[in-house]
Amino acid sequence: MNQEERARTIIDFALSHAKGKVDDIEITVSGWNEATSRFAVNNMTQNQSPEYERVAVRVLVNGKQTRLTSDIGPPKDVATLIDKTVYAAKLLESEGDLLDLPPAPNSDLYAAPNRFDEKTASFSPQDRAEIVQKIIRTAKKHKLEVAGTCVSGERSIAIGNSQNLFAFHKESSAEISITMTAPNSSGWVKENAVSISDLDPEALAEKAAEKAIKSKDPIDLETGHYAVILEPSAVLDLLCFLWYDFSATSHIDKLSCLLDKQGQAVFGQAITITDDCANPLQSGEPFDGEGLPRQNVTLVSNGTFKNMVLGRKSAHQLNLPATGHGLPQPDGYGEYATNIVVSGGKTSLSEMIANSERAIYLTRVWYVREVDPRTKLLTGVTQDGTFFVEKGILKTGIKNMRFNVSLIEVLNNVIALGPAVRAAGEEGSPAVVPAMQISDFNFTERSLF
Amino acid sequence: MEALTEYALDIATEYGANYVDVRIIRQDSQNIQTKNYSVSGFQESGSYGLGVRILLGGWGFSSSKDLTKAGIERTVRLALETARASATCRESPVTLLPEPAHKANWSSPCEIDPFSISVEKKIGTLLDAAKVMLAVPGVTLATGELTFIKEEKFFASSEGSRIKQDFIRSGCWIQANATNDEDQQRRSWPQQYGQQELAGWEMVEKWDLVGNAQRIGEEAVALLSAAQCPQGEMDLILGGSQLALQIHESCGHPTELDRALRWEINFAGYSFLTPEKLSNLKYGSQIVNLVADATAPGALGSFAYDDEGVAAQRVFLVKDGTFSGYLSSRDTGKEIGLTRSGGMMRAESWHYTPIIRMTNISLVPGSAGKLADIISNTESGIFMDTNKSWSIDGRRYNFQFSTEIGWEIKNGKLGRMLKNPSYSGVTPQFWNACDAIGGSEEYVHWGLPNCGKGQPCQLMWTGHGAAPARFRKTQIGIARSK
């Protein structure tokens, strides 16, 4: 029995068991089988192959709703879970504005690119070890020390409800992350893809090694305002703090930094942001937490805040159509833009360097946090490949510095954009973003390395 | 549970494992969230499964919820295959510090089982607090949350340990938000993301959400028109919960030995507390004593045995200002010549392999009395409370924190309220500027339930005992410098 058939069996059993006990029921079956080989100091340090399957049941009874989740075993466990969920729902107070579950949409709306590669899904521990060996060999060739991960596996999700809705998605995933270190410098790279064949471990290792070698003996630079060149990973780990501000619920709760600014120019004209699940560089299922098809939504067009994403509840409150971005309900956060695509430009990183009189080049940003939600003031630190650019040349590595920048100001200070690529970072989920050249970045303190 | 672990141990040993440990964990949790006058989330979750960790030159780990004999055998075989693959990427085999075999049965302290309290009473507590917050003119959003977790864990190792532990964790949190055309401010109680403890419903009663709701509502609204926190070098007094996070980030994480050995450098980061600095570095002033104490009753990071069967301990990390110890495990401790692991290995659940985690990293109480005493002995400075944001560099040197609220101190008295307070510094300089630590009167074991570390990232429950403390000549307000 494959994953889809197994999920259908569980959902059909649940629907049958719940008949007559509930007004509506929704069942979500999610599976996750993703292995991670970790290495450091040129040795494998951890290696794990966990297996995971969860079933979530949401019931609606007399205007009340609850959601219970469990690792699931035989059908009797599903029956017990449903009975517990129904019991729990009866303990709650009625929600005045509780919506019925959505009916099945036209199945064509679930169309998404194939995101499954059998080789990646069945990659073995020894297959990953061979990739790790290649990366360690590259480090040793350059007399560097390496740490990182090689990840491979698959995940699946199915949603069914008592209104005949059924949606299923599975995808494979592969990721390589590498940190090369020298005595006083380091370089980092991280990429992920649907297919492990799309990741070249030796090329990635060389890229990280080059950063570590080029940034050796870093100099201290004065704090202050500089132009910056941000690689796509750095862009992702800054911009991801903005995604929830496009959620309708963040506007209803008066928490969005874009409150009351719909239709206004909020960023520079070069900035266009969409949520596009079907983009070939994106990942994830083509439906939301209630099974609604994810729609392509233009969030920002040429700097103007155009649209929010809406789940069914916020759409009902605002009398607008839902966009298929709802989180599994009930959830106070409402919805989330999960498939971000920031339009790119044509300027390469080397062209950005060449046209810079004086700038700082950032491979990545580290430990970014929001300081002020209204001005979207963020703080963070540079890391793993920070360089001073002068008169069009990447001149030298520099010691790391802390920055405090308003994301709104950053997106109003764009000089140039690179081509949009699938980027991976540590703060936000992978998204499609370009490299950015920014005219003003406030570096407030120096670190000691 | 016992029979299943014996079966897994037998198979692994039969297939030639040098060492194997097995954890079977059952976890049930309940989470209730309210937003304004309604329940915005009610979720219960159950989890039951097994994790097998095998040493065969290198480490291998696998886990599954399939607890049939066939499922256990498949999981053990995959852990073995994974360990063999690890060995092909090692220059030398992993070795472990010795630990006696333990046979034990332990339960965390709990006066009132939170699962015995009715859902109506729990929701009523949150909605009562919401009504009080929303009655304050200017409060635009009031939220609340309760979390209860019951965990039953059985550990068995090929060295003979058989350990059963039962945990009950409880957490509570309310927050008032105030938004106007120019600004957005918030106040949380007992702290940002709430307080969690190894305790039962009694902790919810102790923190008195309803009794504190009006004050935090009024403070959130008052912050909208409060003066902006100034910038400059000033004396700083930190409230206990903010100090807890300061300890977490600038002492807890850098004393993790896996970081100091560069094992976590790809994700969680490195540490300036490298092994040659042990017993040499003046980390803080003479009055600074920091301990990792997994034995503190009721503290969120307490247990009896860690997830590789090492007994809970109280270890000095900083003694009289000198860096004096690490958070360690059986394999990392061996690397630097320790004689015994500090017992700090834990996994979020049965899904994951254990890694070094903070237990309760606490600042030993000092002699400065209560917060009011410290303020009255401060001529000029700023008092900051309740964390709002936190960031620290990859070696845990440079940090910047902001808090929800601050107050000016003039001539030993609290003055006007300040909004958007922030401070920054470099870890050893900061702790060397500590000249007053509050006594046991206001010492609290603050709980942080969401410490992220590892790949894949695991969340962990950590605790931090702290009383208010003062730090001289600290950099204030640079976050908003232009």
Q: Do B65 and A367 touch (CB under 8 A)?
A: no
Q: How far is B344 from chain A (nearest CA, A)?
A: 17
Residue B119 in contact with partner chain A when CB distance is under 8 A: yes
In angstroms, the first-to-last Cα distance of chain B is: 60
Mean pLDDT over the full length of chain A? 96
User: pLDDT digit string (tens) for A211-221?
Assistant: 999 999 999 99
Tokens at B339, concatenated: 């004689």
Q: Per-residue pLDDT for A174 more than 90?
A: yes
Q: How far is B351 from chain A (nearest CA, A)?
A: 6
Residues A215, A227 contacting (CB under 8 angstroms): no
What is the predicted pLDDT for the residue at A106? 86
Q: Which of residues 262-321 of B touch A (CB under 8 A)?
A: 262-267, 269, 272
Nearest to A47 among B58, B177, B402 (CB): B58
Q: Residue A333: which of B52, B167, B143, B335 has the closest Cα?
A: B143
> Rounded distance, CA B140 to CA A25, Å?
33
Can you tell me the mean pLDDT for A25-31? Answer: 96
Give the mutation candidate from B77, B265, B405 for the A interface (greatest A CB count, under 10 A): B265
Residue given tokens 């299943």 in the structure block: B4
User: pLDDT digit string (tens) for B338-355?
Assistant: 999 999 999 999 999 999
> Rounded distance, CA B223 to CA A373, Å?
14
Residues A24, A139 contacting (CB under 8 angstroms): no
Residue given tokens 């070069």 in the structure block: A270
Task: Report CA-CA distances (Å) from B102 to B10, B106, B162, B311.
Answer: 19, 12, 6, 8
Which amino acid would we find at residue A5? E
Torsion of CA B77, B81, B84, B89, to 10 degrees: -150
Which pLDDT band, with edges at 50, 70 and 90, does A92 fall under?
confident
* Residue A254 and residue A119 share a domain: no
Q: Do B48 and A47 touch (CB under 8 A)?
A: no
Pairing of strands A166-182, B58-64: unpaired
Does the global pTM surpass 0.90? yes
Q: Do B88 and A133 touch (CB under 8 A)?
A: yes
Q: What does the DSSP 8-state code read for residue B479?
A: G
The angle formed by the CA atoms of residues B201, B202 and B203, to the nearest 5 degrees, is 90
* Residue A196 and residue A228 share a domain: no
Q: b vs e for A190-209, b when ≥16 Cβ sit within 10 Å of the residue's Cβ?
A: bbbbbbbeebebeebbbbbb
* Residue A109 and residue A257 share a domain: no
Q: Give contacts of B264 with chain A, Cβ < 8 Å.
A: 40, 147
What is the predicted pLDDT for the residue at B62? 97
Q: Do B351 and A366 touch (CB under 8 A)?
A: no
Is the residue at A186 inside a domain?
A: yes
* Residue A180 and residue A40 share a domain: yes
> Rounded distance, CA A241 to CA A255, Å?
13
DSSP string of A106-148? PGGGG-------HHHHT--HHHHHHHHHHHHHHHHHTT-EEEE
What is the predicted pLDDT for the residue at A12? 96
pLDDT above 70: percentage of residues in chain B: 100
Mean pLDDT over the full length of chain B? 97
Q: Residue B428: which of B277, B292, B214, B234 has the closest Cα?
A: B277
Q: Which of A141, A171, A202 corresponds to the end of one domain? A: A202
Can you tell me the mean pLDDT for B133-154? Answer: 98
* Residue A401 and residue A324 share a domain: yes
Nearest to A40 among B40, B184, B263 (CB): B263
* Residue A263 and residue A180 share a domain: no
Question: Backbone phi, then psi, for B454, in 5-degree steps?
Answer: 90, 165
Give the mutation candidate from A48, A181, A368, A429 for the B interface (greatest B CB count, under 10 A): A48
Q: Can you give the residue range of the structural domain that contains A73?
A: 3-202
Q: Per-residue pLDDT for A93 more than 90?
A: no
Tokens at A241, concatenated: 């703090």
Residue given tokens 């040993």 in the structure block: B13
Q: Show the domains of chain B with their CATH numbers.
A: 2-225 (3.30.2290.10), 228-480 (no CATH)
ipTM: 0.96
> Rounded distance, CA B13 to CA B22, Å?
12
Could you tell me which chain B residue has the CA closest to the CA of A379? Answer: B391
Residue B131 in contact with partner chain A when CB distance is under 8 A: no
Give the mutation candidate from A445, A446, A449 for the B interface (greatest B CB count, under 10 A): A445
Of all residues in chain B, what percent are helix, strand and coil, respectively (each to 5)? 25, 40, 35
* Residue A127 and residue A183 share a domain: yes
Residues A15, A8 contacting (CB under 8 angstroms): no
Q: Per-residue pLDDT for B183 more than 90?
A: yes
Residue B98 CB coordination number (10 Å): 10
Partners of B188 in the β-ladder? B175
Is the residue at A207 inside a domain?
A: no
* Residue A262 and residue A158 share a domain: no
Strand (E) or helix (H) holding B216: helix B209-224
Tokens at A200, concatenated: 């070249």
Is the residue at A64 inside a domain?
A: yes
Q: Do B391 and A369 touch (CB under 8 A)?
A: yes
User: pLDDT digit string (tens) for A377-409?
Assistant: 999 999 999 999 999 999 999 999 999 999 999
Residues A95, A157 contacting (CB under 8 angstroms): no
Q: Which of A139, A170, A202 corresponds to the end of one domain? A: A202
User: pLDDT digit string (tens) for B45-92?
Assistant: 999 999 999 999 999 999 999 999 999 999 999 999 999 999 999 999
CATH number at residue A107: 3.30.2290.10
Q: Per-residue pLDDT for A1 more than 90?
A: no
Could you tell me which chain B residue has the CA closest to the CA of A261? Answer: B181
Task: Report CA-CA distances (Å) from B106 to B183, B312, B464.
Answer: 50, 12, 22
Q: Do B394 and A50 touch (CB under 8 A)?
A: no
Is the residue at A58 inside a domain?
A: yes
Q: Per-residue pLDDT for B251 more than 90?
A: yes
* Residue A414 and residue A286 share a domain: yes
Pairing of strands B413-419, B227-228: parallel
Is the residue at A405 inside a domain?
A: yes
Residues B193, B446 contacting (CB under 8 angstroms): no
What is the predicted pLDDT for the residue at B278? 98
Q: What does the DSSP 8-state code read for residue A218?
A: P
Q: State whether residue B341 is helix, strand or coil.
A: coil
Nearest to B41 among A48, A254, A330 (CB): A330
Q: How many alpha carbons fall within 13 Å on the CB side of residue B41?
A: 19
* Residue A112 and residue A20 share a domain: yes
Is the residue at A183 inside a domain?
A: yes
What is the predicted pLDDT for the residue at A77? 84
Is the residue at A208 inside a domain?
A: no
Which amino acid would we find at residue B196? Q
Nearest to A445 among B119, B262, B478 (CB): B478
CB pairs under 8 A between A and B: 266
Residue B38 in contact with partner chain A when CB distance is under 8 A: yes
Can you tell me the mean pLDDT for A305-312? Answer: 98
Q: Which of residues 45-84 of B touch A (CB under 8 A)?
A: 45-49, 51, 58-66, 75, 78-79, 81-84
Residue A374 in contact with partner chain B when CB distance is under 8 A: yes
Could you tell me which chain A residue has the CA closest to the CA of B388? Answer: A371
Residue A222 in contact with partner chain B when CB distance is under 8 A: no
Q: Do A381 and B398 touch (CB under 8 A)?
A: yes
Q: Which of A202, A230, A249 corresponds to the end of one domain? A: A202
Residue B440 in contact with partner chain A when CB distance is under 8 A: no
Is the residue at A209 inside a domain?
A: no
Q: Which of residues 404-423 of A touch B (CB under 8 A)?
A: 404
Residue given tokens 């075989």 in the structure block: B77
How many domains does chain A contain in total?
2
* Residue A272 and residue A135 share a domain: no
Q: How far is B474 from chain A (nearest CA, A)?
A: 14
Residue B96 in contact with partner chain A when CB distance is under 8 A: no
Q: Give contacts of A442 with chain B, Cβ < 8 Å.
A: 481-482
Q: Per-residue pLDDT for B393 more than 80?
A: yes
Which amino acid would we find at residue B417? M
* Residue A387 and residue A284 share a domain: yes
Partners of A91 in the β-ladder? none
